[in-house]
Chains A and B, each alone.
Chain A
Amino acid sequence: MKLIKALLPLLVLVSFSLAADEIDYVDTGVDPDTWITIPSGDFNFGQHNHVKTTVEFEIMATHVTNKQYANFLNEAIAQKAIYVKTDTVWGFHPGDPFDEYLHEFEIPAGDYPLVPINVPGLRLNYVDGKFSPKSGYGNHPMVEVSWFGANAYAQFYGYRLPLEIEWEKAARGTDVRPFPWGDHIERNRANFISSHNLFEKMFDDVVKTTPVGFYNGETHNGYKTLDNRSPYGLYDMGGNVKQWVGDDHKYVHYRYMRGGNYNSYELYLRVWVRDSAGPEHTSMSLGFRCAREPVVEVETSATDSVATE
């Protein structure tokens, strides 16, 4: 193991002579503030199509971006909702119920790491107490964020992380398709291991993520994409970076991640496939999107309007 550890820096130096801190910005034309309503009703959950029911909710059309997350960090730090200490952003979590189950890992109430600041995969700058996205990464998905960090973002704005069942319905719709966009996968349909997307070509494999909404059927810098929206219109529900979902799993407290990432083989992009990790886990291939309760629009009748006037 020592030999391997000794040789690795050499390998890294040889292969990573190109830094990727700044890249060209690619505008996909997709607004990351778009919310989509998922109607209530039955759908087919999991590989074996168990019929389950969800109530109506709203979910973001894309992953939360670096720009959105940087704004959150700045706002939340200003309001003292979270804080920076020892190269990490910290925030409070009320804890998970503990049942003393065999091998159960206790997560008591306390402060937990949201985002490690100095890891190389993070696409945010932290200068003079302010966070900002690295050049060109503003509309790439926020990564290197723990479940606590994803949850903190959602809570701060009055949102929540989608439950696993909600996530899958938003990805699959009401039929039995294996991929969010249909039955088959093509290389330019999603950012996965076989796609060799524009960014990997431009930056020698270092930049792996694609901007949110990249696979929208348009041509970006000469790269023709296919539309990968789910039946309800969500982008990247398969590929790009995995997404935290909100459920706490009794006895284990792992948090599930859905959707596969740029390093995934196609089988991991199928809508029912799960990955999991402890809530403190971060990765440069892991992000999230938020859900919220439907915004109720109060219809005002003509009589009311007259009365008001």
Chain B
Amino acid sequence: MKKFNELYHYFFQSTKGLILLAMTAISVITAVWGTLSGPMVEWGVRDVVVGILGMDLASVERSGRIIMLYHVIAMIVVAIEVYIMTSIIPMRKHQQSTINATITVGWITAMIFGLAFGYFGHNYFYHGLFLVGQSLIFFAGLLLTVALYPWRKDYLVTNNEYAHTKKGYDLERIAFFVMAASMLISAGFGAVTGSFWSNGHETFLAEDLIREPGKTALQKSIIGHLHIMLTLIAVAITLIVGRWMDWKGKLHKVGMPLMIIGTIVISGGVWSVVWTHMAHTFIYVGSVFVMLSALLLVIYAWAKLIRERIAEQGIENPTFFQKLAALLHDPIKFGPFWQMVFMNFTVSGVGIFMAVKLEQIFRVWPAREERVTLTGHWHILSAIVATIIIMYYVDIAGIKGKARKWFGWTLIIASDIAFAAVTIFSMKRLFVIEYYEQPLVNLTMLLTDFGLGAVLVITGALLVWRLIDLFKKDDPLWQKEANDPELDINPTAELTQAGRDRIKAQIESEGI
């Protein structure tokens, strides 16, 4: 019973345990639900899984099922980001525990009942509880936004190297706050439309509407919603890894305003898609700001990795190759920023290329080809965010030595092979005519399956290692993490005297 209590405390009350729990849930869902499409269907795996689990896969309900599935996964990803934020951004302890508890109950409820409704029969009790789960997550977001409120004197920047206003307000905290507030409003665009379900709004996948000239306001709202939610998830992970690297100095001071302005402009642009054709212009402008900020982070992070490794080695005048070796020394810290760079080739670059070649491509390609490109590019962006989270987690878990290097390089190389293969597959019409496409299709599909399979295998290995650790008697890692549950903070701002006084006064008034 004691161990059970300790495990409960670890998994539901420590940041590291909460992240592990959420990652496990996503991995299991990905492993099982990944068998329902693609080559798994041809190999007959889907039929076996459907039979064993008793799934109900009516063909007409596919769109709805997929919507439930990616909402479930997205909710858990958001929860992981929230756990990290409540740990690394200074806030009151009770705020952290309330936010974490609310979002944990939220994603578990949404996961269980969302998947139950989507895949195991249409009991509307399940659907109702799915909505309850989502509402709890929204409420946790509300609490987080309040906790992040940056214009109070409790948390002021004392180290001049971090971006701040003249009054000392923390610009990074403002960036987190803007992201969280934007996410709440953007969630509203999905929720309001969802409330019209079967009452003027019908289930659809955005990629199926790409060539419909007369989209309804509700359809535009949903299309905007899904784009901005993924963008904000990416913004959040960028800010998180920036804090992980203790981003500061001149690049921080330039990067943070760019990130704040970019987040506001993109969000506003996406929301405006419901009313105006100009939305894309706003989105492009905002994207430039956000991507410039991310570029500055990459420059800072890589320079730091080189500097620290060279210092560790005691090299005084390093050559180019020594610097390169230093950069690549730790794949787990090099990887997230490499993935951000790589994203430009597989996501942003593709998007810009498509936009520039709009007339040449979309008048010529069938919608199905365009659909593949679009779905490919946002699947890649989601997967890149996932790989960054995994690398961050490997660092949290304290994996060192060869295991760290093998894991890191396998994750980077395998995932990038898959992403590159998907990109080439989706744009194959640029390189090869239909008659000769089969070898390219076969090769890119093989590489995609290999890459994604390798990522799943090593992630599975990581989780099995953590599972075995739960049963270890001598000095298990989970107990250490339970005793040291928080992440490295590298705080940009510190609790001020005013903040201390406020807390003290509150404690006294509440008689605690």
Q: Is the CB of A11 within 8 A of B41?
A: no
Q: A193: CB under 8 A from chain B? A: yes
Q: Is the CB of A250 within 8 A of B59?
A: no
B-side contacts of A277, CB under 8 Å: 364-367
Selected from B211, B363, B440, the residue in CB contact (under 8 A) with A8 is: B440
Q: B3: CB under 8 A from chain A? A: no
B-side contacts of A284, CB under 8 Å: 434-435
Q: A53: CB under 8 A from chain B? A: no
A12-B436 contact, Cβ under 8 Å, with A1-B430, A47-B60, A267-B59: yes
Interface residues of A in 1-42 (CB under 8 A from B): 1, 4-5, 8, 11-12, 14-16
Selected from A119, A184, A268, the residue in CB contact (under 8 A) with B435 is: A119
Q: A285: CB under 8 A from chain B? A: yes
A-side contacts of B208, CB under 8 Å: 274
A16→B58 CA distance, assembly (Å) = 39
A265-B41 contact, Cβ under 8 Å, with A1-B431, A5-B431, A285-B434: yes
A252-B202 contact, Cβ under 8 Å, with A119-B435, A284-B435: no
A11-B367 contact, Cβ under 8 Å, with A121-B434, A176-B60: no
Report B43-75 CB contacts with A as 1/0, cut-off 8 Å.
000000000000000111011000000000000
Report B401-445 CB contacts with A as 1/0, cut-off 8 Å.
000000000000000000000001000001111111011101100
The residue on A at minimum CB distance from B366 is A277
A-side contacts of B42, CB under 8 Å: 193-194
A284→B433 CA distance, assembly (Å) = 10
Q: B368: CB under 8 A from chain A? A: yes
A-side contacts of B364, CB under 8 Å: 277-278, 281
A53 CB, nearest partner CB in chain B, Å: 20
A20 CB, nearest partner CB in chain B, Å: 10
A254-B211 contact, Cβ under 8 Å, with A178-B59, A277-B367: yes
Q: Is the CB of B60 within 8 A of A275?
A: no
Query: By the criterion of a CB under 8 Å from any partner CB, how many residues of chain B are at the interface?
Result: 36
The residue on B at minimum CB distance from A178 is B59
Q: Is the CB of B435 within 8 A of A275?
A: no
A48→B63 CA distance, assembly (Å) = 11
A298 CB, nearest partner CB in chain B, Å: 43
A275-B62 contact, Cβ under 8 Å, with A15-B438, A101-B213: no
Selected from B63, B213, B440, the residue in CB contact (under 8 A) with A251 is: B213
Q: Is the CB of A275 within 8 A of B213?
A: no
A4→B203 CA distance, assembly (Å) = 39
A-side contacts of B93, CB under 8 Å: none
Q: Is the CB of B436 within 8 A of A105?
A: no
A287 CB, nearest partner CB in chain B, Å: 14
Interface residues of A in 241-298 (CB under 8 A from B): 249-252, 254, 257, 265-268, 270, 274-278, 281, 283-285
Q: A183: CB under 8 A from chain B? A: yes
Q: Is the CB of A254 within 8 A of B277?
A: no
B-side contacts of A278, CB under 8 Å: 363-364
A70→B488 CA distance, assembly (Å) = 73
A8→B432 CA distance, assembly (Å) = 8
B-side contacts of A102, CB under 8 Å: 277
Q: Is the CB of A275 within 8 A of B367?
A: yes
The residue on B at minimum CB distance from A16 is B436
Q: A120: CB under 8 A from chain B? A: yes
Interface residues of B in 7-62 (CB under 8 A from A): 37, 41-42, 58-60, 62
A276-B60 contact, Cβ under 8 Å, with A4-B431, A121-B434, A283-B434: no
A178-B277 contact, Cβ under 8 Å, with A119-B433, A277-B367: no
A268→B405 CA distance, assembly (Å) = 43
A118→B213 CA distance, assembly (Å) = 34
B-side contacts of A15, CB under 8 Å: 438-439, 442
Report B358-373 CB contacts with A as 1/0, cut-off 8 Å.
1100011111100000
Q: Is the CB of B367 within 8 A of A274?
A: yes
Selected from B41, B62, B359, the residue in CB contact (under 8 A) with A194 is: B41
The residue on B at minimum CB distance from A183 is B59
Q: Is the CB of B435 within 8 A of A11?
A: no
Q: Is the CB of A8 within 8 A of B41?
A: no
A11-B440 contact, Cβ under 8 Å, with A265-B41, A275-B366, A276-B366: yes
Q: Is the CB of A250 within 8 A of B435?
A: no
A254-B367 contact, Cβ under 8 Å, with A16-B436, A119-B433, A193-B42: yes
A249-B430 contact, Cβ under 8 Å, with A11-B443, A274-B367: no
Q: Which of A47, A101, A176, A270 has the most CB of B within 10 A?
A: A47
A277→B370 CA distance, assembly (Å) = 10
B-side contacts of A137, CB under 8 Å: none
Q: A179: CB under 8 A from chain B? A: yes
A270→B41 CA distance, assembly (Å) = 17
A-side contacts of B367, CB under 8 Å: 254, 274-277
Q: A111: CB under 8 A from chain B? A: no
A12→B441 CA distance, assembly (Å) = 11
Q: A205: CB under 8 A from chain B? A: yes
Interface residues of B in 431-489 (CB under 8 A from A): 431-436, 438-440, 442-443
The residue on B at minimum CB distance from A12 is B436
The residue on B at minimum CB distance from A194 is B42
A47→B65 CA distance, assembly (Å) = 14
B-side contacts of A178, CB under 8 Å: 58-60
Q: Is the CB of A12 within 8 A of B211?
A: no
Q: Is the CB of B213 within 8 A of A105?
A: no
Q: Is the CB of A14 within 8 A of B363?
A: no
A15→B211 CA distance, assembly (Å) = 35
The residue on B at minimum CB distance from A103 is B358
Q: Is the CB of A47 within 8 A of B368?
A: no
Selected from B213, B358, B435, the residue in CB contact (under 8 A) with A120 is: B435
Q: Is the CB of A268 within 8 A of B368?
A: yes
A27→B107 CA distance, assembly (Å) = 58
The residue on A at minimum CB distance from B436 is A12
A-side contacts of B41, CB under 8 Å: 194, 265-266
B182 CB, nearest partner CB in chain A, Å: 27
Interface residues of A in 194-231 (CB under 8 A from B): 194, 205-206
A176→B365 CA distance, assembly (Å) = 31
B306 CB, nearest partner CB in chain A, Å: 29
B-side contacts of A265, CB under 8 Å: 37, 41
A101→B424 CA distance, assembly (Å) = 33
The residue on B at minimum CB distance from A263 is B441
B-side contacts of A179, CB under 8 Å: 59
A103→B211 CA distance, assembly (Å) = 11
A-side contacts of B438, CB under 8 Å: 15, 205-206
Q: 14 A–B contact pairs at CB < 8 A?
A: A8-B436, A11-B443, A15-B439, A15-B442, A47-B202, A105-B359, A120-B436, A179-B59, A194-B41, A270-B59, A274-B367, A276-B211, A277-B366, A278-B363
Q: Interface of A with B (CB < 8 Å)?
A: 1, 4-5, 8, 11-12, 14-16, 47-48, 101-103, 105, 119-121, 176, 178-179, 183-184, 193-194, 205-206, 249-252, 254, 257, 265-268, 270, 274-278, 281, 283-285
Could you list 12 further interchain pairs (A-B, Cβ under 8 angstroms) beyond the known A265-B41, A281-B366? A8-B431, A12-B436, A120-B433, A120-B435, A121-B434, A178-B58, A194-B41, A251-B213, A265-B37, A274-B367, A275-B368, A283-B434
Q: Interface of B with A (CB < 8 Å)?
A: 37, 41-42, 58-60, 62-63, 202-203, 208, 211, 213-214, 277, 358-359, 363-368, 424, 430-436, 438-440, 442-443
Question: Which 4 pairs, one residue from A and one from B, show the smallest C-beta to C-beta distance?
Answer: A178-B59, A15-B439, A11-B439, A251-B213
